Amino acid sequence: MPKRILSGRVTSDKMDKTITVLVDRRIMHPLYKKFIRRSKKYAAHDELNVCKIGDAVRIEECTPISKRKTWTVISRNGEVVGGAASGNAA
71 DSSP β-pair partners: 44, 61
Considering the four listed CATH numbers 2.30.33.40, 2.60.40.720, 2.40.50.140, 3.30.43.10, the one that applies to the domain covering 5-80 is 2.40.50.140
pLDDT tens digits for range 27-65: 999 999 999 999 999 999 999 999 999 999 999 999 999
Q: Is the pTM of this model over 0.85?
A: no
Whether 23 and 6 have beta carbons less than 8 Å apart is answered as yes
Integer Cα distance of 27 and 35 in angstroms: 5
- Break the chain into its structural domains and give their ranges: 5-80
Write down the mean pLDDT value for the chain: 92
Q: Per-residue confidence at 82, pLDDT binned at 50, 70, 90?
A: confident
pLDDT at 90 over 50: no
